[in-house]
Amino acid sequence: MKKSFLITPVSILLFFALNLVSLAQVKKKSLADIKEFKKIHQLNAGIKAKAKSINSDFLVFSTKLKETKKVPLVIYLHGAGGRGNNIESITRSVAPLWRGIVKNIDTPCIVVAPQCLREARGGGRGGWKHEELNEWLNQLKATLPIDLKRIYLTGNSMGGYGSWLWGGNSPEHFAAIAPIVGGIGPGGPKDVTKELDKWAKNLAKVPVYAFAGAKDEVVPAERSERMVTAIQNAGGKLAKIKVYPNEGHGAKRLVLSSEEFYKWMFSKKRK
């Protein structure tokens, strides 16, 4: 039976200091070049009750942290294939992001990845919900050594939609957002939200870099293009998009292996 883990500032620092898991102990060969891998168990009961679609376990990757230094936070939202209650199942999805950071960025940082449940607590289908993600992030802010001016949001496919949704409703959290092959509607990958103008207005002052594949038959590149155009029309001068002409829904592999992606993201700081 899994023991609950109540996150407090003291417990999380002890966790960082005493519970590093070397990759020699991780049986996934694809993670062989990641320096450290950690899993933190259990959101506290209050957050768990409110966040009905978020697994109480979440993944944390980090470089060596100093107790007194606050560092950038990168949040990664997985795609539809990662939904469930086994946190280990999204490790491979997050690993390319961490590899890219280790390779391209010298700044110490933390990468955190929540998991969306397949079935929400209390019934219904699980999905990314900005109100729940806000509750979850508030706990991270209270317990992790985060530089609040350097919180970055990215995600792939359904996680790209989650990035648009969360950033479009709560832009005040983020120094930059980077949705990858993401939809812009709650009804599925080809749906369009009725709140598009609201999202665009909210994101007009946030650096946005969207990525899409021109040959994507799952989520049309036009969805990302439409969202970026709406932001620009709302006065957003910090929004741009890259469409890979020969890529489909798997464009993530090019994004997360690109030095440009990391240099752009880590250069942003919220005023």
Q: What is the pLDDT of residues 145-202, one digit of tens each?
A: 899 999 999 999 999 999 999 999 999 999 999 999 999 999 888 899 999 999 999 9
- Alpha carbon distance 37, 21 (integer Å): 6
| pLDDT tens sequence across 13-64 | 323 332 232 222 222 323 333 334 444 434 554 555 567 888 988 888 887 6
Instruction: Give the pLDDT score at 47.
Output: 53
Within 10 A of 146 (CB to CB), how many other CB atoms are there? 19
Instruction: Give the pLDDT score at 266.
Output: 98
Task: Record the pTM.
Answer: 0.85
Is the distance from CB of 154 to CB of 97 less than 8 angstroms?
Answer: yes
For domain 9-266, the CATH class is alpha beta
Closest CA to 242 of 206, 209, 218, 267: 209
Structure tokens at 249: 């829904």
